Amino acid sequence: MLFTPFPPPPRYQDVAQMDVDDDFDGAEAKMTSPGEILTSSQAFMRGHGTFVVDEEVIASVAGTIDRVNKLVSARPGGRSIASPDTDPRYNPEVGDLVIGRISEVGPRRWKVDANARQDAVLMLASINLPGGIQRRKLESDELQMRNFFEEGDLLVAEVQAFFVDGSMSLHTRSLKYGKLRNGQLVTVPPVLVRRLKSHFIALPCGVDLILGLNGRVWVSKHVHREENDGDESFDAALVYSNQNDEIDVSTREAISRVSNIIRVLADRFVPLTDALLVDAYEWAVDQECKVTEILHEDVADALAAAVVARI
């Protein structure tokens, strides 16, 4: 069989041309194809969907280029931010922060709906337990699994690994992770949530955001998150409580305002970043927009235009 050779793939003439962050701040992501030379491996690290040949990072899949600091990846599927008609499910990677909902309690594990093609799994050994996270899991812990998480509970977790069938294994060993309370959930297309240095964002209005890479955003009352994971004073009754705290009216309005802003930006397919959300909230406050007014078509269009103009 006779094969016709393809022309050599396009390449970037200079590392400075590999300014993917700037491209991602706009309305359209840079596309790539298999075999395309992306940048130099001396200046950047290869991520998923790429390989290195002769000190050059080359795409191995067709899709969009994703860059986080010096890590360059190629996301498969050919999805572009300019193509909102395609709303694929979340494609997980190890280390991703996700927001999920408990769908089933099983023996020594929970099944979690994480907006992926398969349910994720949270093992009993992968959560914080009373008495310190380093202790062994006992039979009594297995009997109390519904005291930790039960069907319908929302939680934030990290992708730890993958099973042989491709499903995710999650963990909540850090005290930053665990059950979610005192807020509301907003769902957006996963492609709109960028990979940031931190997906825990505290807004000046006393509202916390958790940007899940699986397209779920948690908007809640501000709480102080403990960093000392080995603290033996870990209060399981508080961490696994289903009871919301008392939330004053102004904080409730701020939570609703931020949630509506996220819905407006997602409807217009504007990527979500920490700086962009802060700008959007400041614009809404400057315009003295009421909570429900943000969803009005004219106000929503003006908000999106103002935010995009600042990018």
| CATH number for the domain that contains residue 46 | 2.40.50.100
Q: Tell me the pLDDT tens digit for each residue of 99-138.
A: 999 999 998 899 999 999 889 999 998 998 776 555 566 7
Would residue 47 count as lying in a domain? yes
Cβ pair 39, 72 in contact under 8 A: yes
In a domain, 167, yes or no: no
pLDDT tens-digit series, residues 238-247: 788 888 889 9
Q: Round to whole Å and give the CA distance between 68 and 184.
A: 28
Question: Which residue from 296, 290, 260 is spatially nearest to 188, judged by alpha carbons?
Answer: 260
Going by C-alpha positions, the residue among 133, 155, 142, 140 that lies closest to residue 105 is 142
In the chain, beta strands by DSSP E: 31-32, 37-40, 45-46, 50-53, 56-59, 63-68, 71-76, 97-106, 109-113, 120-127, 154-162, 168-172, 178-179, 183-187, 200-203, 207-211, 216-221
Measured CA to CA, the distance from residue 150 to residue 104 in angstroms comes to 7
- With respect to residue 68, please indicate whether it lies within any of the assigned structural domains: yes
**Is residue 304, in this structure, part of any structural domain at all?**
no
Residue 20 structural domain:
15-76
pLDDT greater than 60 at residue 204 = yes
pLDDT value for 175: 83
Residue 27 lies in a domain: yes
* Tokens linked to 123: 């093992």
* Tokens standing for residue 149: 């998480």
What are the φ and ψ backbone dihedral angles of 247, each rounded to 5 degrees? Answer: -125, 125
| pLDDT for 15 | 39
Two tokens at 217?
């955003």
What are the helix and strand counts (H, E) for the chain? 7, 17
Q: Is 194 part of any domain?
A: no
- Structure-block tokens of residue 8: 């050599």
Alpha helices in the chain (DSSP H): 20-24, 139-143, 145-148, 236-239, 249-267, 274-286, 297-310
Would residue 20 count as lying in a domain? yes
pLDDT digits 0-9 by tens, 262-293: 999 999 999 898 889 999 999 998 888 888 89
Mean pLDDT of the residues in the chain: 81
Q: What is the pLDDT of residue 212?
A: 95
The answer to whether position 9 is within a domain reads no
Query: Percent of the chain scored above 90 by pLDDT?
Result: 38
Count: domains in the chain: 1
